[in-house]
Structure 1
Amino acid sequence: MSLCDAEKTFILHGVAENFRSDGRDREGYRPIEIETDIVQHAFGSARLRLANTDILVAVKIEVDTPLPERPFEGKIEFFVDCSANATPDFEGRGGETLAIELSNILASAYKSPKTFNLKKLCILKGKKCWKLYVDILILECGGNLFDAVSLAVKAALFNTKVPLIKSVNIDGDNVELDVSDNVFDCERLDVTNAPVMVTVCKIGDNCVVDPNLAEEQCSVGSIVVAISQEYFSTVTSIGIGSLHAQTLCSSLELGQKVGIRLNEALMDTLSHITSDQDFGFLK
């Protein structure tokens, strides 16, 4: 997407007046729609649309061995696939760098036990644990990928059903698990503290959240903050440019304020959602 000088000036003036080109203020999000439990053979799934950005997430589970240094914990891994149909920028190897960046920031955001308790995934200390594979497919790119991906991941984890273990048989070094084959014998993951990401862009002398593609072109510096309840689980600078120390502080305050509100709206929506409905929030 390429903007002429007149278009950039229009966006800059709109942000300065706190009235963006699509009618939002600087703290406003575009309409968000979410569906859960839509991938048949996954343990949990969600599809989220943030304006023109479309994300599909599926969670798979398998039995694994805990890490030696973390014998009481399970595992979680993130894999991102940037579909070539999402944007021409993803053609060839264009999406690989972004996919790695998204995977790394998600892993960092979920690393703290205060955000996601991996001990709940431990089956037998040092022997067996559950491993979650979170597969993320970017179907369409309409700006603000980090926020959309984090919301979709949290929704998919909320929807994930972990099978119950009926019995554990230990014979020397061999461990046999009797896993219930009843689809109703399962436990839900606790994602109350799971982080949501907020991208804060500096455009002109002001900062905005949920930038669209045009606004991303006008940004002189951006950060992504992962908010878990009221604290930061990670902060990352993205794109080109940098922020002054004072601007960085104000960006963090804005990210925290919006992140808390976004998390409350998402959890409220997920608590009411059913498998045959889709909901919008923050409209």
Structure 2
Amino acid sequence: MHRQLQENLGLATDLLLHAQIGSVSQDDRYTILRTAQAPEYFSGNMLVLAGPPAEDDRQRLEDDFARLIGGPPAMVHRSFAWPETGGTLGDFDSYVRHGYEAMICSVLVAERNAVRSVEINDAVEVRLFESERDWDDWLRMSLADMPDPDSETSRRCVAFQRSAYRGLIERHWGNWWGAFIDGEMVGSLGLFFFGRIGVFQSIVTREDQRNKRVCRTLLTEVVKRAAGARDRLVVVADETYHAIRLYEALGFERQARIGSLCQVAAQR
């Protein structure tokens, strides 16, 4: 693994997690993520670069993606990520003009015992997933959070994620937690462990329950019950998304950044 990736806890733990559900390999330029059984899983079929791409890298990147990951009809996307240092979304306007979506995420880290208490929603019950219904509710909520929830591509992607996460849980890598009000799921998250590091995955709040302290209640309770003995906790969040302020209020601090580009050629 390149040194830049090792120092970025968001990318480093993503690669460790993906190695359990797909494959991770390297050549002289890229870290290569493949999930052959789920070509529609965009973040699992990706090239990770050592640093941000230049404007004139686009054709080479696209050619390398086709060679190393695949192309149509099996692959309907191209996806790239890298440890970002000081860039902005405007640096990738030339890619956006060619149909790419650019994103920069913050990697937030809380050191052991640094998570602070915040005001919670007392109506929220937090518990582990315990039934098939929990996972069915998770699937519906996660699908609703996708950019195109009605597409077959989105359905297959979320179905694969459910299967992959359940497999990780069965192998004791972590657990999935839900937030419930009157027995109905209103939020959920995964928490997986790599040694002394805990990594949050797919933190979702049901749309009609946002801004009601559901997410902060869920995070607070999960940290208290399952993550308190870990040296560090990691969460990755889109820099344009309001949830970053919540994570910082809980005691998470920005440790690094991840840049990404994704182009979807067509929906099937």
TM-score interval, normalised by the smaller of the two chains: under 0.3
Give the structure, 1 or 2, with the largest relative contact order (CA under 8 Å, sep 6 or more): 2
TM-score, length basis structure 2: 0.26
TM-score, length basis structure 1: 0.25
Question: Comparing both structures, which one devotes a greater share of its residues to helix?
Answer: 2
